[in-house]
Amino acid sequence: MKRRVVITGMGAVTPIGLTIDDIWDSLKNGKNGIFPITRFDTRDHVSKMAGELKNFDPVNYIEKKQVRRMCDFTQYAVAAAQLAIEDSGLDFDREDRTRIGVIVGSGIGGMVTFEREFGKYFRKGPSRVSPFFIPMMISDIAPGYISIIYGLKGPNYATTSACATSAHSIGNSVRSIQYGDADIMIAGGSEAPVTPMGLAGFNNMKALSERNSEPEKASRPFDADRDGFVMGEGGGILVLEELEHARKRGAKIYAEATGLGYTADAYHITSPDEKGDGATNVMKLALRDAGLQPADIDYINAHGTSTHFNDKIESMAIKRVFGDELNNIAISSTKSMTGHLLGAAGAVESIVCTLAIQHNVIPPTINYETPDPECDLNVTPNVAVEKEINATISNSFGFGGHNASLIIERFRE
């Protein structure tokens, strides 16, 4: 029998808030987090907007000396982990730290550091490159730092699967607990892609929205006038815990992680499979793992990137899996508010599913103005809806054809 895994802590830093309370307030009120980029000059860039973190100061979470040795994506991960651990009420001095692990991923890793250090190399030569360049840049340094800060000696590594990264981190963490490798896992992802090179790269592959005159309306999943996604940055972390362990320490339990599915499109390096087979099968696998039927799902937090093909094919897959039950299932893409946090998206959106269960509220898909007949789903347009929510699916699909679906349910004794 697999051990039961519950969520006992949550933390996130996002374009719509730096605490769970602020994030939820933004979500239920349809608050936009997309604005013109302020961090660098975008005059030569096609797309000029992103979901930047506002008012984030790493020294509120990390010693100043350590901040200088961390790339932005690591700062976001450490900050979100601190918030989640505080929320969980864990006292590590009373725990067996060999039974606590960390799996935190990043789709891209230290792009901020890479660009800065390459600039030094280009202008001044190799001797001026920081000796911290490599450990600041590599994706696995985020879970490394979290384990070092808290002395956690259980399973520890990073996942990297583009936009499915943190969904894989959470899924692998759930499995680590289910099969006895750990009792507690710190799981999630972080991303800091809003850099000149990051923006140029996504621009040149024609992936980003060019709605610069209305940045607040640029991210518009499932809308007929969508023209690309909007980059976001931040981090999201969940504390996952074996049920009996959580009970013994009197932890508050937000929800239960019950199902996961992984598939590959095996189709194209960036485009989703036109048949939607990977997206279809990943949701079916998650339902089977959770022991649920399509009729049991109340809410789907869609991958919903606001690109033409992703939204069309995800819609096709959802209709194929849920069929006649679609009228009873609420769907939304919160990327309409946060932008696309890439490797952090799955973690932040798993938190959204957990909050939706807690509050019995479906967050909206904002900027939905013109229905697309190819995306004819109940996408909760523009305004949050109250609804009893007992079971949710969070979808994450990444470049390379990586698909992950997570099922989070209301905890029941």
Q: What is the C-alpha separation between 367 and 376, in angstroms, rounded?
A: 16
State the catalytic residue, choosing from 45, 303, 375, 402: 303
Cα 277 → chain centroid: 23
Task: Tell me the torsion sign for CA atoms 196, 216, 276, 349.
Answer: positive
Q: Rounded to whole angstroms, how far apart are CA atoms 178 and 184?
A: 10
Identify any residues that bridge with 12 across adjacent strands, giving them in sequence order.
236
Question: Hey, which residues does 36 pair with through a beta bridge?
Answer: 49
Residue that the structure tokens 């598939």 belong to: 263
Q: How far is CA 158 from the centre of its chain?
A: 14
Separation between Cα atoms, residue 293 and residue 322, nearest integer Å: 9
Residue in the structure block whose two tokens are 């797309």: 47
347, 235 Cβ separation under 8 angstroms: yes
Out of 45, 245, 340, 402, pick the active-site residue.
340
In three-state secondary structure terms, 36 is strand
Burial (CB count <10 Å: 0-12, 13-18, 19+), residue 59: exposed
Catalytic, 308? Answer no
CA distance 82 to 67: 14
User: 39: part of which helix (H) or strand (E)?
Assistant: none
Contact 256, 410 (CB under 8 A): yes
Span between the terminal Cα atoms of the chain, in Å = 17
Reference 105, options 407, 409, 341; nearest CA is 341
Active site residue 340: yes
Residues, the chain: 413
3-state secondary structure 191-260: ECCCCHHHHHHHHHCCCECCCCCCHHHCCCCCECCCCCECEECEEEEEEEEEHHHHHHCCCCCCEEEEEE
Does 71 participate in catalysis according to the annotation?
Answer: no
Active site residues: 163, 303, 340
